[in-house]
Structures are given as structure tokens and as C-alpha cells.
Structure 1
Amino acid sequence: MQPPSSHPAVGPRAETHLDRYAAAGVDTRAGDTAVELMKRSVAATHGPQVLGGVGGFAGLWDASALLRYTKPVLATSTDGVGTKIAIAQALDKHDTIGQDLVGMVVDDIVVVGAAPLFMTDYIACGRVVPERIAAIVDGIARACAATRTALVGGETAEHPDLIAPDDYDVAGAAVGVVEADRLLGAGRVRAGDAVLALASSGLHSNGYSLVRRIVREAGLRYDTRIEDYGTSLGEALLEPTRLYTADLLDVLDGPQGGAVHALGHVTGGGLAANLARVLPQGVRVDLDRSTWTPPPVFSVLADLGGFPLGDVEGAWNLGIGMFAVVAPEAAAAVAAGLTAAGVRTWQVGEVGTGEADDSYVHGAKGVEGGAVRLVGAYAA
């Protein structure tokens, strides 16, 4: 009989292949712990269409629901969050980045009139910290629930030596569906349509490379309290992206739905470009700056950087996260409905015709669209 000290149950545990893998920088046990921590929040996004639960090689979604469509068109989108993650890492606060990811991905799908069906995510990191990964995924799951999207799968990949131990990046992809004859876009837009602006919650997830440079050159810390914000600098910069999908789908499915002709999500490229790309060639829009006041998060940063707000209209949303191009007779009702739902909405322009000179942005992202420029001065 072996002495008790050498018994496998009480003595030193023999090194396994998992130990060797962990020594090389990949801890699969930590990955399993992260999955256990996130399972409940992910499962909360699942309806009866989701099959198989969490942990399979592939997410499963029962597509028989599409049989009710005459001609279903699938819409897909993929994106990340960008360098806003660097601020989350600096503050060690990771529970809002997931909402930013869903906003960047799912709110692109509703632009064509599609309802999101399901989403998957991908987190690449230098080292799996289960609680951190769970916080990120919990934010993704909560935002998926808010946008009526099932989170059906994901991947957490540990890349030692390629990514610093406490660094990570997130990306995601989603799929939605729309009836072919209800697709939104440039083909529906007409001269005289009203252009509505839907308020943003802040910077959303674009222009953060510029933000971080401004903060660095101003010598500020993210825990510095900014009186105009009423919070610390970091809290203002991490304000999560507003989610528009559910409120817009309610409009599209309601009595005014047919009056909505196009939507434009204000992401990379700023205000004029993201409207121009959903307009047809031959029309133009003058966005009237006097109809709104950019929130303090923008004006404070511009002052710190020493430039006027007009210089960053191609980088920041300046208070507008989405545009809706709507038949003029329905514009007031659509704006009132969205405002009542908690998304302040106002008319910022009108679709017109005529020559558009070089002061206009003509399309964007490879799309030869309409012409858009900003005019006037921002309201005080």
C-alpha cells in the first residue's frame, strides 16, 4: 500500500495537458468558469425559436417562423466597439461595452426595416478573467433582450503573446428579416419628405481615438469630475450607446409604419455621410443646426481640443444617433410617438432637389447617394 501522502486523492496532483496549456498562457478552466457565469444572462434572451441552449458548436434558431413571410429577405451586420474599449479597460468597468456592441450591430439591421432574429459575439483577450468576460457578455445579453434579439452563441479566445494580458476586443454579428416589399431605403425617399433626428445618449461608439487624444493632451484623468457633465469624465465617456431597434420596430409595425421611407444610423463618418448614403441620387438635404444643442459631452471635449464643433461633424454624432426620413404628413406623429417612448425626436431638415455643390457630402462608404450638408449655427 502506498503511504497516504502519495495517494492521488490527498497528495500533489499530477500535471495534466490542461496545466501545460495554462502554463503556455491559455487557461481552459478559466474559460469554462466564464461560460458558467454568463449562462443565465444568455439564456434570458432565448425564446422558443432557440434550440440547444448554451455551449454547442453552433447556435440553432428555428427558421419555421419565416414561413409566414411571402418573400423574406435576410439582413446581416457585423461590427465591433473600437477604441472605446480602452477607456473601459482604464477604468476596469466592463458592463456597458456589451450594449455598445449590440447598438453598433443590431441598430444597423433595423435601418433596412428588418427585425433582428439572433446574434453571436466574439471576445479576443490576452488572458481570460472569468468575471470580466461575464460582465461583457451580461451587457451584450441585456441589450439583446432590449432589442428582441436572441444571443445564440459566441466565442472567447485567449491569445497570449498576441494580446496583452488585460487587453481585449469584442465583435459581433446579427441576422434579421424583413418582408421584401417593406424594405426601407433610398428607393422609397421622395422630395418633400421630412428628415427627423433621434437623439443619441452621448458619443455612442465612434470617434474615440480623437477623444482619447484630447484627454491625453489635456493631461486629464478619467476619474476627473467635469462639472458640465455632472459625473466623472470616464463615466460620461462610457455612457452606453442608445438602442433604437425596439422603438423603431414599434413605429414600423404601427399605423405610421408605411410613412417611414429610410433610416440612417449615425456611426463612423458622422452626420452628413450617414444620411447621404440612404438617400437617392439627385436629392439634397440641409440639416439645420439651429434645431438642436449638442450635449455637453461634445462641447466640453471640443473646447479641450481647441476646435469648433463644426470640425468634428464627420467624427462625432453631436447628439443625433439616428435619422428617419418620413412622409411629411406623418412626421409629427412619428416624432411624437418616438419622443413619448423616450427617444427625443425632432425635424432637422427636408428632402429637396436641385444642384448640390462641393459644400455637400455626396454619398459615403462606396454608396453614390444623395447630398447632405449642415447649415446655420447650433442652438445655444
Structure 2
Amino acid sequence: MTASRTSHPDTNGVTYQSSGVDIDAGNRLVEKIKPFVRRTLRPEVLGGIGGFGALFELPTGYRQPVLVSGTDGVGTKLKLAFQAARHSTIGIDLVAMSVNDILVQGAEPLFFLDYYACGKLDVDIAAEVIQGIASGCEQAGCALIGGETAEMPGMYAMGEYDLAGFAVGVVEKDRIINGSTIEKDDVLLGIASSGPHANGFSLIRKIISQNETVLDSMVAGGKLIDVLLAPTRIYAKPIMSLIRALPVKGLAHITGGGLSENIPRVLPVDTLARIDLASWVRPPLFIWLQQQGNVSEQEMLRVFNCGIGMVVILSVKHAQEALDILSAAGEAAWQIGTVRSREADAPPIEFV
């Protein structure tokens, strides 16, 4: 984690600090986050926090290691975190969005870097956010090896910040999961989400605004703000256990684009996914959002995960064993569909 680069105060003229950038605050932040960043470190990490670049040695045991990278942010879910003054879990969302993306190609997450940008650095808030990032890295089994804190006066509203994350993983070349072996009669397993994760929040915020709903309202089995800010589930450890045990053919992270657009991304062109919407119970929040916003079913499936955060595709003969492995790892999962042959003019996904 590198602090904002500034000069020391000069009482005889204009200084960087007088323009709104405080190097001392940046240095205090670096010292404050060191203890929880250290907890994420893996044996492959070379060097410590504060260098110009982070060094990471490839893990041993790979014959033909392929690096897999991903980047993402948290989107307008940040607006609700600002509104509620809750910053402790938004960093978990940041890690999850990138880590879950690289996971679908079979990659073991290795390390993560973050970018925290603000108008004026509040050391306590930034430390809280980065502690959440470190927590997400611990959940994913990857090291938080670096990042950037950028203080940019005039770029952001007071009390607001933006986040971006970057994850790198590794997979054996001949074990890359790309969906090419998916065939007719394979099954789709859906693993439960923890809520909307970090997608669809512009629509969520519009529904809340139009209905003048108070964030502390009791909705969907709890306070609305608690349900909405539940951190994105990180699937790294259970999915890696599954991959090591069984021949997984395809994985889909249900992120922006919902179920409708993410599942087809991993299917061969001559197949389609038939999804049984009655195979899992849709969480109350999504029902509430659909009712309050008068959102069509088609739009719900295209925007939200609707309770399914990750989809696994494998042979029917491995389905029950996969469900048992996921259950033992603490994940709720269901068989939600099957792979079918697809005619040239047919859509790549059907909901029944």
C-alpha cells in the first residue's frame, strides 16, 4: 500500500498540504493497515509493504502455470455505504468481485492489489475499508501485496471515495476451465448468494428513492440496509475444493448481467441452459425489489443474481457428490438446470 506522494509543509509559500493533499495522513494509514495486511501474506510474497512494486514468486508444483487476472470495482453500492456510514465490509465486496471472476477459469487466487481514491483522506475510514479488503483476501486465500491510496482534492464529494481491485491467480494449463467439454444432459448447480452482491445497485437505489423507503425499514427479514450491504460471498475455497475432487466443466460467476447473460458465457454455441426457477427459493429481498419497483421477471433475471451467486456445470453422475462437497464447505446449493442441445435460432438460456 503506497501513500499519496506529497512534499513536506513549507511555511513560506504554497504547499502540497495547503492544496489538500496530506502526506502525513497517508503515512499514518500505511502504518495503521500493516497488521491486518500481514495476516493475508502467503509464503510466495517477497518483500514488505511500501515498495514501488510488489514481488510474488510463482508457487511450486505447477508444470505449466498460467496466470489469470481480473479487475473490478464495487459500483454504486458505495453510495449506500456512504449514506449509512458503514465501511467495514465494502472491501470484502471489492475482493469478491475480482476473485470470483478469475475463479471460474479454475484459477487459485494468489494475490490482490487495491486502489483507494478520495478527495480528502480520512485515515480511520480508509483503514476500515482496507481492513475489509484484507478480510476478503483471507477468505479467498490470497495475499494483499500492494495498492495505492490517491488523495485528489476536488475529484470526489466530501466523505466519498472510490475503489478498484486487481486479482491474479494461477491454473495449470491443461486444467483451465473454459466450458469446451460441456455437453447435452450435463447439469447446472447453483450456489447461494449472500444478497445482490455488488450488482444492480443503481436500480436498487432508484426503487428505494421512488418509494421513499427508509434504509432502517424492516424489509425482507431484516433492516433493509443490513440486507443490502451484506458482503459479496467469496467462493474461492469451496470451488477450489470442488475442482480438486471432480471434473468441473464450467463455472459462471453471476455478476453484472444476472443469470440471463452470465450462464451463456460459458456454454458451447450448440448448447443451451434450461433453468428451473422453482428449484431454489428466491430470497425475500429480490421479491420485495420486484414488487416495489414493478420490475419485470425478464429484467430481474438480467440484472440480479436472484439468489444464485455461482453456477457449476458438470456431468450428472457427479452432481450429488458435488452437492455434498459444497454442503460440507458450508455452501447452500441446488441442482437448478440442465444443458440441452440448441438450434441455431434458439436463445442460449431458457427459464421454466
**TM-score of Structure 1 vs Structure 2, range by shorter chain:** over 0.9
Residues 241-252 of structure 1: matches in 2 within 5 Å?
Answer: 241-252=232-243
Letter in structure 1 aligned against 2:111: F
Q: Distance in 1 between matches of 2:43 and 2:313?
A: 35
Contact 1:25 1:127 in 2 (8 A): yes
Task: Select 2:56's aligned residue among 57, 61, 65.
Answer: 61
RMSD of aligned C-alpha atoms? Answer: 1.7
- Does residue 23 in structure 1 map to residue 11 in structure 2? no
Identical counterparts, % of pairs: 41
Name the residue aligned to 1:3.
none
- Does residue 234 in structure 1 map to residue 211 in structure 2? no
Contact 2:272 2:340 in 1 (8 A): yes
- Does residue 332 in structure 1 map to residue 324 in structure 2? no
Residues 42-53 of structure 1: matches in 2 within 5 Å?
Answer: 42-53=37-48
Name the residue aligned to 1:281.
269
SS in 2 for 1:253: helix
Of residues 84-93 and 339-348 in structure 1, the stretch that sits farther from structure 2 once superposed is 339-348
Q: Distance in 1 between matches of 2:175 and 2:109?
A: 15
SS in 2 for 1:22: coil
SS in 1 for 2:166: strand
- Does residue 353 in structure 1 map to residue 341 in structure 2? yes
Instruction: Count residues in correspondence.
Output: 345
- Does residue 372 in structure 1 map to residue 325 in structure 2? no
Q: Distance in 1 between matches of 2:12 and 2:279?
A: 64
Contact 1:18 1:27 in 2 (8 A): no
Letter in structure 1 aligned against 2:197: H
Deviations 1:252-284 (A, max 9, x none): 122x2x2x1010000000102101000110101
Deviation at 1:165, TM superposition (A): 2.2
Contact 1:111 1:264 in 2 (8 A): yes
Task: Select 1:207's aligned residue among 186, 200, 209.
Answer: 200
Name the residue aligned to 2:252.
264
Letter in structure 1 aligned against 2:139: A
Deviation at 1:18, TM superposition (A): 11
Q: Distance in 1 between matches of 2:323 and 2:260?
A: 20
Q: Distance in 1 between matches of 2:107 and 2:213?
A: 42
Length-normalised TM-score, structure 2 = 0.94
Deviation at 1:48, TM superposition (A): 2.0
Q: Distance in 2 between matches of 1:169 and 1:245?
A: 25
Q: Whose radius of gyration is greater, 1 or 2?
A: 1
Q: Which structure 1 residue ranges, 5 or more long, are not aligned?
A: 1-13, 361-370, 376-380
- Does residue 169 in structure 1 map to residue 157 in structure 2? no
Deviations 1:290-336 (A, max 9, x none): 11121011111111112344431100100000100011100111012
Length-normalised TM-score, structure 1 = 0.87
Contact 2:76 2:202 in 1 (8 A): yes
Q: Are residues 222 and 273 of structure 1, via their aligned partners in 2, closer, same or farther at CA, if it must alter by over 3 Å?
A: same
Q: Distance in 2 between matches of 1:19 and 1:243?
A: 46
Deviation at 1:357, TM superposition (A): 4.4
Contact 1:284 1:356 in 2 (8 A): no
Q: Distance in 1 between matches of 2:277 and 2:300?
A: 13
Q: Distance in 2 between matches of 1:86 and 1:188?
A: 41
Q: Distance in 2 between matches of 1:261 and 1:286?
A: 17
- Does residue 218 in structure 1 map to residue 211 in structure 2? yes
Deviation at 1:157, TM superposition (A): 0.3
Task: Select 1:198's aligned residue among 171, 184, 191.
Answer: 191
Q: Which structure 2 residue ranges, 5 or more long, are not aligned?
A: 1-8
Contact 2:185 2:340 in 1 (8 A): yes
Deviation at 1:356, TM superposition (A): 6.0
Q: Are residues 77 and 294 of structure 1, via their aligned partners in 2, closer, same or farther at CA, if it must alter by over 3 Å?
A: same
Task: Select 1:137's aligned residue among 130, 133, 137.
Answer: 130
SS in 1 for 2:87: coil
Q: Distance in 2 between matches of 1:289 and 1:161?
A: 47
Q: Distance in 1 between matches of 2:342 and 2:111?
A: 42
Contact 1:98 1:140 in 2 (8 A): yes
Name the residue aligned to 1:88.
81
Q: Are residues 17 and 27 of structure 1, via their aligned partners in 2, closer, same or farther at CA, if it must alter by over 3 Å?
A: farther
SS in 2 for 1:89: helix
Deviations 1:93-113 (A, max 9, x none): 001111101110011111000
Q: Distance in 2 between matches of 1:229 and 1:20?
A: 52
Contact 2:187 2:315 in 1 (8 A): yes
Deviation at 1:15, TM superposition (A): 4.1
Task: Point out 4+ residue stretches in structure 1 off by more than 3 angstroms.
Answer: 14-19
SS in 1 for 2:213: coil
Contact 1:299 1:309 in 2 (8 A): no
SS in 1 for 2:274: strand
Letter in structure 1 aligned against 2:44: Q
Deviation at 1:20, TM superposition (A): 2.2
- Does residue 342 in structure 1 map to residue 304 in structure 2? no
Q: Distance in 2 between matches of 1:23 and 1:211?
A: 39
Q: Distance in 1 between matches of 2:297 and 2:84?
A: 27
Name the residue aligned to 2:32.
37
